[in-house]
Structure 1
């Protein structure tokens, strides 16, 4: 690449040498995520991974893809780009773990108006941190410089992950039964959903994002909203390693409780969730008050303090919570599975 430079392309707004500088900066971060199975290194045309399938009767690949959405607008306004990569990884691997799979590797896609190597390095630092939290490898990605399509100081971020699970250990909700217990794992905040509403409520382009607020425990609105999405891979794995029978899992993303919880239920069964069984984070009270948002709309848009819910037999609920506590995780018994076709009931 020493001889790669195009004056004509640079005049059109694309500096290929900036891309090479970005790769140079991110390479050590990418390699810090490598786990057994990674083949080659950054710079090839395709990321290679050789999975260890020892002990599996019928390995099944589970994939997930997602982006960060308009939460990126907050990153632009705050000029802080080192956390949104965690969101990107989280939105993919949290979906994968719902099926019982362990994520193996991740690839990112960054599209920008101008390739700023320092900013790209900040973004990738978050991606690599997310990969380390999820226990997967960042095996490749793409940075696309698109002048005239994106403003020079903006970008979009998306990703893709692949995991693996033995077919007989897939979590699909088919064995759910009345009386199963629902366990909730707390969120860190708004995560990466509902930001179109959040941005409208606070008029973020014109409000004070950086001053401390008493309602948020002294944190600023901007810092609170940029808090990265929690990654639940290791928490679910801790429960599975303890031998607990997880029957169904729901990642509480866009659409909140009313859209996501029914996705883990089977016909004739409903998740009854007790609203007082877990702490509701202050940011949601502030959003509701500022926007005059009805209670049901809040639970149909946001996670409200629970980022993941899973179902276990009642006889194994205490063991599941103990396994999570031993792993340094907080968990709440938030309800149960009952007869009915509502999908979810909040009581």
Structure 2
């Protein structure tokens, strides 16, 4: 599961360890082709890094397409009867839910297309229209069914790819683990997806949103800062993970309807939801929809209670759109 972070944790490094006599514990490491950073206030000063690393490895064993022995890889490779675990079930069910809501614009069966464009675990292939058409016959979430602990495919060749949702889910798993240990004040970040609960001392957790700059500079500029209150946040964008070939730009966000990378004026989509899995999935879906369709979707689906911050291009000028309910928690830096 590989992604590029679009978020920067703001003002999380200088927290008084004397707040209510709690200790600040900071953990970081590598996982899922990226990095993670966790900060939490603890009564007993226990460092849970070993347990967290173990959880992340278990998630990889379930859903990493980069691990040949994982459950998802074995299913993709038709490696005999495979029983899925609870991690897989949770993500599969949420994927179907979001696919149904978005009329298939979010679809975890885009695996063959992701691989063909060179963004997956296999070698990049030629991009002729005929090849794209041949792969589209294996794309469609309705061709998969979960029965008990088995995934049933309508035809061989269908491949799953949870990369657009698994990191948000992983953040939820780690957050739930911390809460099970009685930790109420924390921020968990993995590959740019995160969840914050409680406060850091007497302050709210703050998160910076990157400017959508294609330059891979370590000196990354912020577009805005968002105060996060007991919510999860995920950002998807097409300006960092892409390549150019024959003068054409190819993004890692694939439109499952056309088989081609999504081409919209939306540069990045930040979604705030109650959990990371929901935020992550809809951030990707909105990048496929584009600005206008995403706004219409939010109007129709107010029951989802999603908050968004979009950065888009209008005739060469960057502009932003945010949910009305989110505006009081945003500080734009332009």
- Which category of TM-score, normalised to the shorter sequence, fits these structures? under 0.3
- Structure number with higher strand proportion: 2
- Structure number with higher helix proportion: 1
* TM-score relative to the length of structure 1: 0.24
Structure with the greater alpha carbon radius of gyration = 1
* TM-score relative to the length of structure 2: 0.25
Give the structure, 1 or 2, with the largest relative contact order (CA under 8 Å, sep 6 or more).
Answer: 1
